[in-house]
Amino acid sequence: MSVNSKVSGLILAGGRGTRMGRVDKGLQPFRGATLVAHVLQRLAPQVASVAINANRNLPQYEAYGCPVLGDELGGFEGPLAGLQTGLRHCATELLLTAPCDSPFLPPDLAQRLAGALDSQDADVAVAVTLEADEHGVVQRQLHPVFSLLRASLLPQLDAYLATGARRMEGWYKTLRLAEVVFEDAAAFRNINTLGELQQLEHAGAQPEQPLTLAAVASCLSAYDPEAMSVRDAQRIIGDFITPIQSSEKVALRSALDRVLAQDVISPINVPAYDNSAMDGYALRGADLPAEGTVTLEVIGIVYAGRPTALACGPGQCVRIMTGGAMPAGCDTVLPQELAAAIGDGSVTIAAGVLRAGDNRRFKGEDLAEGGVAIARGKVVRPADLGLIASLGLAEVAVQRRLRVAFFSTGDELRSVGEPLDTGCVYDSNRYTLFGMLQRLGCDVIDMGIVKDDTVALEAALRSGCENADAIITSGGVSDGAADYTRAMMARLGDVAFWKLNMRPGRPLAFGKIHSNGRSAWLFGLPGNPVATMVSFYFFARAALLHMMGANAPLPLLRARAQAGIRKRPGRSEFQRGVLSTDADGQPQVRLTGAQGSGILRSMSEANCMVVLRDDQGNVAQGDLVEVLPFEGLL
Ligand SMILES: Nc1nc2c(c(=O)[nH]1)N[C@H]1C(S)=C(S)[C@@H](COP(=O)(O)OP(=O)(O)OC[C@H]3O[C@@H](n4cnc5c(N)ncnc54)[C@H](O)[C@@H]3O)O[C@H]1N2
Ligand code: MOO
Ligand SMILES: [Mg+2]
């Protein structure tokens, strides 16, 4: 008898998809189908039948023609709960599991696991791969959700779950386990984030192949590195970059300005109980008069923070303070200033001053227990600190800080503190870059000035690559005779040199370089000081935030031009402006004089950039233009 007829397949699709922003992972589109469809396609030929374990969107899963089984336990208790349901419905001797986010699972999974189960007389066989860790040491990696189990294990699993334990590996420890080594580690790759999903979507057939710039650029209808639009460049950068996968727990206050690495889940209802929004009288809405007045008996008083056993019957009310728990029977609060008369032990209410249900705050109306209070990717602001504190949480998981190395290139540059030789300029780009990176919350590594010298450049790029997640350079990316930077960048990795249809900031280098087993993203910004800043804001900033896993779009707004602006269609222009409010309090903007890309003074005088897109022509006085205010810009 072939292995197939003894095995039922179970696709585990019952998770919360927490790392994917709580989307239903299995149903995410991937290479023309969904993730679960890819898994089904690979699993079905290996087994007698397949069932899907899912806890939401059941009709969509049913559309694949398989039985869909919800967890018996309820409440997203993890893969063991799915396994329990799968074993309960398993009509064959063996059950094979695979997660819904592993579209590359091996075609011989069932066969090889079954072989080991038999030969080792084990209860369960589990896939293992050998993978080198960061020090190059090979480690055994167990993949507990790729398992083949005897259906007879159900009573043991029921008993294990009844203890409250939920970890797969914990349960396996109580069983006879056969480990089966598979050589192709990439086949067990599971997709945890939308970023990975997107990366693999474009990555060609082999998931282990790194994404190349050429592969990303091939998605554009036309790719001309000599005439790139701002939008295309932003798109390529966004598609090429993937977020770093590393987080840390920090004390709440230290989370300010950091990026949340996980959803903050509310452990409690906020507020924890129905309460009053006003100082006044809690009453039954049904007692409110349709006309004339009603006088209610005051049976007691409730203060905020003190539990109450008071309960109102018809004709009764309770004196209550803001935040006080609503007494049983009450659903409405009369603010005391709306009472027609307040007597000794009674209050009189006129018709029409109040509707039933007014001034009551519901338990959980701010946040419901188990709900997402703040989604991962949010940059933590003061209000978020307060919200997290209101949940009683003292720590949160944040993305580890991004390490960004930067240096300036050019023989003509001198550092602050050095004498200024003839023909030289002081290096200002390292200071603007320091400021912008610091504002983004990066750990910065200032590598100083690097001369136009191949050896020095190579050493600097390699050192940056080995010590940082990203490297930002300025200068040397145009095609001037002394621009050694380009040649060296290209030698160390996959780097594109673009001429963009924009002003300032026309040349830009972008890519990924490698050195001694490490890699880093590279942004080669143009040397002219204003061009450096503009390129940073419109390309590097979003890319760095994306690496940090942050969700922080540019805060653009619209303002009226106080004077006409000359603008040539066909390129984007970023002009320095001063944003203010007109006599009616509406935003207005004027330019700050000379706009040459070496003129930092007008950048310093500006408080915004006027963003004029490719297709825009001359701007007339009073026209609305897009503006990027510097204040509040991360
Ligand atoms: N024939 C062409 N020449 C240039 C083009 C072009 O398309 N064809 N593009 C121009 C544009 S636009 C820009 S922007 C610059 C960019 O050139 P590089 O990135 O190669 O930068 P450098 O040549 O090294 O420097 C340009 C300029 O900026 C000054 N600079 C450089 N670094 C700093 C610094 N850290 N602090 C202060 N000032 C700096 C440098 O002294 C030069 O004056 O190329 C145009 N040329
Ligand atoms: O890109 Mo350049 O910024 O115009 O000087
Ligand atoms: Mg140059």
Confidence tier at 180 by pLDDT (50, 70, 90): confident
Asked whether residue 237 is domain-assigned, the answer is no
505 CB near ligand 2 (under 6 Å): yes
Asked whether residue 175 is domain-assigned, the answer is yes
Cis (ω within 30 of 0) for the bond into 504?
yes
Tell me what pLDDT residue 17 has: 77
Q: Separation of 571 CA from ligand 2 center, angstroms?
A: 13
Tell me what pLDDT residue 593 has: 84
Per-residue pLDDT at 256 exceeds 80 = yes
Residues 292-302 pLDDT 10s: 999 999 999 99
- Domain span at residue 385 reads 247-269+366-399
622 and 528 inside one domain: no
* CATH of residue 408: 3.40.980.10
Per-residue pLDDT at 277 exceeds 60 = yes
441 and 298 inside one domain: no
Tell me what pLDDT residue 207 has: 42
Q: Tell me which of 429 and 78 has the higher pLDDT.
A: 429
With CA atoms as reference, report the closest residue to 432 among 598, 255, 549: 598
Tell me what pLDDT residue 140 has: 80
* CATH of residue 605: 2.40.340.10
109: annotated binding-site residue? no
Tell me what pLDDT residue 622 has: 97
* CATH of residue 77: 3.90.550.10
* Of 180-194, 459-473, 587-601, the least confident: 180-194
* Average pLDDT score over residue span 93-114: 93
Confidence tier at 203 by pLDDT (50, 70, 90): low
371 and 407 inside one domain: no
Closest ligand to 534 CA?
Answer: 2
* Average pLDDT score over residue span 96-122: 91
Tell me what pLDDT residue 162 has: 93
Distance CA 554, CA 17 (A): 27
Percent of the chain scoring above 70 in pLDDT: 97
Q: Separation of 497 CA from ligand 1 center, angstroms?
A: 14
Give the mean pLDDT of the chain: 91
263 and 284 inside one domain: no
506 CB near ligand 2 (under 6 Å): yes
With CA atoms as reference, report the closest residue to 402 among 438, 367, 431: 438
Tell me what pLDDT residue 1 has: 47
511: tokens are: 């890519």
91 and 125 inside one domain: yes
184: annotated binding-site residue? no
604 and 586 inside one domain: yes
Q: In what order do the strands lie in the sheet with 138-150?
A: 68-69, 49-54, 7-13, 94-99, 138-150, 124-132, 177-181
* CATH of residue 327: 2.170.190.11
Distance CA 11, CA 24 (A): 14
Distance CA 569, CA 617 (A): 5
* Of 208-222, 239-253, 474-488, 523-537, the least confident: 208-222
Distance CA 601, CA 580 (A): 19
Residues 480-500 pLDDT 10s: 877 788 889 999 999 999 999
Per-residue pLDDT at 561 exceeds 60 = yes
Distance CA 58, CA 70 (A): 8
Asked whether residue 235 is domain-assigned, the answer is no
101: annotated binding-site residue? yes
Asked whether residue 316 is domain-assigned, the answer is yes
Asked whether residue 453 is domain-assigned, the answer is yes
236 CB near ligand 2 (under 6 Å): no
Q: Separation of 616 CA from ligand 2 center, angstroms?
A: 19
Q: Separation of 486 CA from ligand 3 center, angstroms?
A: 10
Distance CA 429, CA 603 (A): 13
Asked whether residue 442 is domain-assigned, the answer is yes
372 and 346 inside one domain: no
Provide the number of structural domains found in the chain. 5
Tell me what pLDDT residue 219 has: 59
Q: What is the phi/psi pair of residue 259, to 5°? A: -100, 130
Tell me what pLDDT residue 136 has: 66
280 CB near ligand 2 (under 6 Å): no
27 and 71 inside one domain: yes
Q: Separation of 475 CA from ligand 1 center, angstroms?
A: 6
**CB-neighbour burial class of residue 422 (10 A; exposed 0-12, middle 13-18, buried 19+):** exposed
Index of the ligand 2 atom closest to the CA of residue 531: 3
127 touches 72 (CB < 8 A): no
Torsion-angle region of residue 417: left (phi > 0), alpha (psi -120 to 50) or beta?
left
532 CB near ligand 2 (under 6 Å): no
249: annotated binding-site residue? no
Closest ligand to 477 CA?
Answer: 1
Q: Separation of 506 CA from ligand 2 center, angstroms?
A: 5
Index of the ligand 1 atom closest to the CA of residue 427: 36
Tell me what pLDDT residue 375 has: 86
6: annotated binding-site residue? no
252 and 370 inside one domain: yes
- Distances in whole angstroms, Cα of residue 35 to Cα of each of 23, 101, 538: 12, 6, 34
Asked whether residue 196 is domain-assigned, the answer is no
SS (H, E, C) 556-614: CEEEEECCCECCCCCCEEEEEEEEEECCCCCEEEEECCCCCCCCHHHHHHCCEEEEECC
504 CB near ligand 2 (under 6 Å): yes
* CATH of residue 256: 3.90.105.10
Tell me what pLDDT residue 205 has: 47
537 and 588 inside one domain: no
- Distances in whole angstroms, Cα of residue 616 to Cα of each of 228, 502, 568: 17, 12, 7
Closest ligand to 475 CA?
Answer: 1
283 and 342 inside one domain: yes
560 touches 511 (CB < 8 A): no
Residue where one domain finishes, among candidates 375, 399, 423 = 399
Index of the ligand 1 atom closest to the CA of residue 430: 35
Residue where one domain finishes, among candidates 188, 206, 224 = 188
Which residue owns the Cα nearest ligand 2 atom 4? 504
Residues 379-405 pLDDT 10s: 999 999 999 999 999 999 999 999 999
Per-residue pLDDT at 536 exceeds 90 = yes
Q: Separation of 632 CA from ligand 2 center, angstroms?
A: 25
pTM score, two decimals?
0.69
130: annotated binding-site residue? no
184 and 97 inside one domain: yes
